[in-house]
Amino acid sequence: MLVASFYRFTALEDPASLVEPLERCCAMHDVRGIVLLAPEGINATIAGTREDVMTVVDHLRADPRLADLTLKEAEADRPPFRKMRVRLKREIVTMGVEGIDPAHLTGTYVDPGDWNALISDPDVIVIDTRNDYEVAIGSFQNAVDPGIESFGELPDWLDARIDMARQPRVAMFCTGGIRCEKSTALLKQRGVREVYHLEGGILKYLEQVPEEESLWTGECFVFDERVAVGHGLELGDATLCRACRDPLRASDRRSPRYVEGVSCHRCHDRTTDAQKARFAERKRQVDLAHARGRSHLAETPAPADLGEAGPEAVTPPTRSSPCGGTTTSR
């Protein structure tokens, strides 16, 4: 089964018009996952057979605004999503800062093959833009961990920790590239001239850079049932706490506070006895389903977290969609 992740910052003046045709296309081809649409672009992870996934991608690419979508591909042994969600959002990745325009102003892309040299430069500040629970299971050597619980906390951290007036050299990275791309747009808006971000994110680096040359340590958390991947995008050792959804390393699972399906060292003290009892019952139901050779819905977590027309206006040209109907060019 193919798992395809992609995003693009591009002006979508009418994201709502894309929802129904996309939902219909995905339903026709049994493609599941999550797609976020916003005025600033698209952010998605979808899964299915290769033929079906590529049909959905071709449907999206028929819109000229999305014609150059670039995919990050991985294989999964079982469906990583239980249904398809297409959601309208204010942002495809929530930062909460007005006036950011990554479609027109971002930092400099750095190819994975050139990344090691950049982050090994002692004059470069290397920042992991991901959430704390992601950083906990892996990151680049010597990267700064902001310790944030959500991406929306990063702007305040950058304002407090980065002296924009000194014109620092900053390199930023994230899982697939979208958060660090938007982060570089923020720093560029703030006036920082030398800002870099890892093209394709950690996933592309792990796919392309040989392990013996890598400066990555640990595993990379992904927002689906695979939980984490390592070099070569091989399935990692991390599992998911079914109570709080945080990834757990082998050492985390040895904690006395870890009870499979019920609690881990991070959430044990944040849940009530009644909640733990409910989680334990859910775990029992999952085990019963396994014993009967069936799957259970509780096994698959929901994905985390993503001008006026004048009188001269004419109907934009349309293109044929591989799922039937047309898409509008704007």
**211-217: long-range contacts, CB 8 A cutoff, minimum separation 24:** 213/116, 215/115, 215/116, 215/119, 215/120, 215/140, 215/141, 216/138, 216/139, 216/140, 216/141, 217/138, 217/139, 217/140, 217/141
Q: Using only C-alpha atoms, what is the Rg of the chain? A: 21
CA 268 – CA 115 distance, rounded (Å): 38
CA 116 – CA 124 distance, rounded (Å): 12
Question: For 263, which DSSP code?
Answer: B
DSSP line for 27-84: HHTT-EEEEEEETTEEEEEEEE-HHHHHHHHHHHHTSGGGTT---EEEE-SS-S-SSE
Give the β-pairing of 239-240 and 228-229: unpaired
Measured in degrees and rounded to the nearest 5, phi and psi for residue 209 equal -90, 125
Residues of 170-208 as b/e, b for ≥16 C-beta within 10 angstroms?
Answer: bbbbbbbbbbbbbbbbbbbeeebeebbbbbbbbbbbbbe
Q: List active site positions.
A: 174
Question: For 8, which DSSP code?
Answer: E
